[in-house]
Amino acid sequence: MENEMEEKAVIFTGNSISHEDAKKILLANYQPPVRRFQLEKFIQQGYKVMGIIDGIFFDRAAVGHREIISALNAGVRVVGGASMGALRASELDTHGMIGVGKVYEWYRDGVIESDDEVAVSTNPETFEPISVPLVNIRETLKAALGAGILSEKEYEDLLELAISTYYPDRSYLGLTKEGAKKGLISEEKRKLLLDFCINSEVDVKKRDAVLVIETVKRLVEETEV
């Protein structure tokens, strides 16, 4: 059964969730973050379910809308969430792409719009992120507000600072350091907040990535019946 699943599902990821962690949920054909002109090969190979989690973001390299629509027209079930998958699903759910998770809902509902909300700088060999995505910073700062570590104004000021920071430079260390330097938070609070961010980060992208994989698993099981 697992081998059959592996043959029927291909999932593009590596930033939001590692292939190692993903395989604990579902044995599938895990590929690096998707780039333009890759989907056709997997359609030709007969895959009936695709999961798009991570992808290259630069315009010339990003997976195109037409490629995904071609897959859908070929009868492939395409699930997206967490990162590039969430962005494309919010644009193509009316064409039949299945969007899951919080990031997808944010894009769909216009809560967030920019690609750089989910973009990260990565290790080119392992695809592991070396910067923090803005969606995670949003939820982690909100959690710090809920925990009474930040006031409403401190939360808003730090979020604004994170938004204005170029995506490869976003980190909790940098954010708290710059926040204290600009007088947005005290030095004492800087240490408290950094500790909270490191130990209690709300990893929205990973949670959503898990949802994509679980949804792919369910769809594969449905095709078995």
pLDDT at 27: 94
pTM above 0.85, yes or no: yes
The tens place of each residue's pLDDT in the chain, 225 residues long, gives 445 455 689 999 999 999 999 999 999 999 999 999 999 999 999 999 999 999 998 767 999 999 999 999 999 999 999 999 999 999 999 999 999 999 999 999 999 999 999 999 988 888 889 999 999 999 999 999 999 999 999 999 999 999 999 999 999 999 999 999 999 999 999 999 999 999 999 999 999 999 999 999 999 998 765
SS3 state of residue 79: strand
CB 60 within 8 A of CB 23: no
The C-alpha atoms of residue 203 and residue 115 are separated, in whole angstroms, by: 17
CATH number among 3.30.70, 1.10.3470, 3.40.50, 2.40.50, domain 7-119+203-221: 3.40.50
pLDDT at 164: 97
The C-alpha atoms of residue 38 and residue 58 are separated, in whole angstroms, by: 15
pLDDT at 162: 98
Tokens 């009474």 -> residue: 148
| H-only helix segments in the chain | 2-8, 19-23, 39-44, 65-73, 84-92, 102-109, 134-146, 152-164, 172-181, 187-199, 204-224
pLDDT at 222: 86
pLDDT at 19: 95
CB 168 within 8 A of CB 122: no
pLDDT at 7: 64
pLDDT at 60: 75
Instruction: Let me know if 14 is exposed, middle or buried by CB neighbors in 10 A (0-12, 13-18, 19+).
Output: buried
pLDDT at 223: 77
pLDDT in tens, 59-68: 679 999 999 9
Give 52's strand partners: 12, 80
Structural domain boundaries in the chain: 7-119+203-221, 132-198
The C-alpha atoms of residue 21 and residue 101 are separated, in whole angstroms, by: 18
